[in-house]
Amino acid sequence: MSSASFERGYHAFKEQIDSSVAAYFQSCVSCGMCAEACLFYTETNNPEYTPIYKLEPLRKVWEQEYTLWGWLKSSIGLSRKLNDDDLKQWQHYIYDSCTLCGRCSMVCPVGNDIVSMIRKAREGMVAAGHAPEGQIGASKRAVTIGSPMGVKLPALQAQVRHIEKDTGLTIPFDTEGADYMVLLSSMEIMNFPEYLEAIARIMKQAGKTWTLSSQAFEATNSGIQIGSTDIARELVSRVVNAAESLKVKTVISPECGHAYTAIRWEGPNLMGRSFDFKVKHIVEVLDELRAQGLLKTEGFEEQRLTFHDPCQLVRRGGVVQQPRNLMNMISEDFVEMPDAGMMNWCCGGGGGAAAIEEAEELRTQAFMCKKNQLDEVKADALVTACANCRIVMEEGLEAYDMDIPILGLTELLAEHLVEEN
């Protein structure tokens, strides 16, 4: 049996470095602005949480392996080689204190896409055996059981039966040629089954055919979060195979930010080919239905609502306006938090960070940024479109004794659907 080793990690770093990484490191002017965008720095003032500093191991490999000048410097002893202790130390920076939120990439004056490099650096960390235990566990469960939380098909089927009984709707499995194949995150299956019910009702009203796949219902991709292309590919291929065997037109990524990135943007690159089907986030689909007049709602929420943009949807996904259109359908008192939209603050637990137990304290500390945003608007309820954000924020609100309910956007819409006779 093979195992992780420093050499494998080093090898993976070499593999990950490309022109963009080289241009980024070469361009960094050490201005420190990226730190001011990162919630782990702004809420702790610890300079070690500076985004570009989190990439020191990768930078070293770039400089010594990919530049003549750096090679010269290291051969005459002016710079030290990377070692395993470095990686051990950097695990905390690369995983515990980064949610891949991408805020840093928005502010860098020279234009460095820092978060893309953290994603790459994780490849090396995984191969070197310096990934956090919590994420290793999640990845193992995802590959062996089919879901990072260990949710198996029978559990889903039980939930489905429940919903069918309650609502009288049918929730189709493995329907060939459906318009949509709906994916879920285990978070939703276990904690927010209302999501599935909402989908069923909305699809019915819109007159669209849809299906779940018994082969691939889980969208969360632990491989992306831990940073392993191989594991990510394994998980994505299940979805792709299911979608292609069912010949669906569109795969809907659930209310989860990273799942969207995994399937929509990384998926084809992991598989090495483009797909026959389209991939859309549920919010995109809902907004399309709205635009086509297929999503009809009635009544408005009276409470003051605000919307939390999942990082991967806005900065890494370009889905900014759609949730706002939807919010306006059902809310009369919709307020935006400061920095909402493209520069929204992260919930603090994305990118797999939520699975890292030892980082919980740091996460709570980082949640201050969200708390400040919320304090600013004094909303009665917080709406979002990511089950992971939702769980993390619930924990955060609890830690700060804040009593603000969090709602899923899809469910909220479903509550206002015009009932048809």
Partner 1 sequence: MSQKTIGASLRSQGISRRGFLKFCAATASMLALPPAVIPQIAHALENAKRQSVIWLSFQECTGCTESLTRSHAPTLENLVFDLLSLDYHHTLQAASGDAAEHARELAMEANKGEYLLIVDGSIPTANKGYSTIAGISNIDMFHEVAKDAKAIVAVGTCAAYGGLPKAEPNPTGAVSVEDLITDKPVINVPGCPPIPMVITGIVAHFLTFNTLPELDSLKRPLSFYGQNIHDRCYRRPFYERAQFAETFDDEGAKKGWCLYKLGCKGPTTYNACATAKWNEGVSFPIEAGHGCIGCSEPDFWDAGSFYKALSVPLSGTAQAAGYAVAAGAAMGVAAGAMNMAKRNSARKTHETVSIDDLEREQS
Partner 2 sequence: MNYAEFLIWVRGDAFHWSLAIFIFGVTLRLLEIILIGRKANLAEKRGSGVAGGIRTIFTRFMPNQAVLPRVMHTLVAGYVFHIGFFIVLLFFAPHVALFEAAFGFGWPALPNGVIDFATIMAILGLIAVLINRLRNPVQRMLTGFGDWVAWFVTLLPLVTGFMAFHHLVEPYPLMLALHILSVELLLIVFPFTKLMHTFTLFLARYYTGENAGHRGVEI
Please report, as ranges, the residues that interact with partner 2 according to CB under 8 A.
17-20, 22-24, 26-33, 35-37, 41-42, 45, 47-48, 50, 52-53, 66-69, 105-113, 116, 264-269, 271-275, 278-279, 314-318, 339, 342-343
Where does this chain touch partner 1 (CB under 8 A) — which range of 139-147, 169-177, 278-286, 378-386?
A: 139-147
With respect to partner 2, which residue has the nearer C-beta, 32 or 177? 32
Footprint on residues 338-367 left by ligand SF4 (CB under 6 A): 346
Where does this chain touch ligand SF4 (CB under 6 A) — which range of 100-108, 196-204, 235-243, 288-296?
A: 100-108
Options 33, 143, 145, 153; binder of ligand SF4; rule CB under 6 A: 33
With respect to partner 2, which residue has the nearer C-beta, 22 or 143? 22
Q: Note whether 127 binds partner 1 by CB under 8 A.
A: yes
**Could you tell me which residues come within 8 angstroms of residue 36 by beta carbon, excluding any fewer than 6 positions away?**
42, 107
* CA angle centred on 35, ends 34 and 40, rounded to 5°: 130
Options 12, 34, 94, 409; binder of ligand SF4; rule CB under 6 A: 34
Footprint on residues 242-261 left by ligand SF4 (CB under 6 A): none
Name the maximum alpha-carbon separation found in the chain.
81
What is the closest distance, in whole angstroms, from the C-beta atom of residue 234 to partner 1 in the complex?
8
The HSE-up count of residue 90 (CA atoms within 13 Å, CB side) is: 27
* CA angle centred on 177, ends 192 and 408, rounded to 5°: 20
What is the closest distance, in whole angstroms, from the C-beta atom of residue 148 to ligand SF4 in the complex?
20
Rounded distance between C-alpha atoms, residue 272 and residue 137, angstroms:
27
Q: Note whether 1 binds partner 1 by CB under 8 A.
A: yes
Where does this chain touch partner 1 (CB under 8 A) — which range of 23-31, 35-43, 138-146, 399-407?
A: 138-146
Q: Note whether 108 binds ligand SF4 by CB under 6 A.
A: yes
Size of the site for partner 1 (CB under 8 A): 29
Tokens for 413? 């819409």
What is the closest distance, in whole angstroms, from the C-beta atom of residue 159 to partner 1 in the complex?
26
Find, among 353, 413, 320, the residue nearest to 99 by Cα.
353
Q: Note whether 64 binds partner 1 by CB under 8 A.
A: no
Where does this chain touch partner 1 (CB under 8 A) — which range of 95-103, 226-234, 308-316, 370-378?
A: 226-234
User: Interface with partner 1 by CB under 8 A: which residues?
Assistant: 1-5, 8, 11-12, 14-15, 17-18, 65-66, 68, 126-127, 129, 131, 136, 139-140, 143-144, 226, 228-231
User: Interface with ligand SF4 by CB under 6 A: which residues?
Assistant: 28-34, 37-38, 40, 51-52, 54, 98-104, 108-110, 112, 114-115, 118, 346
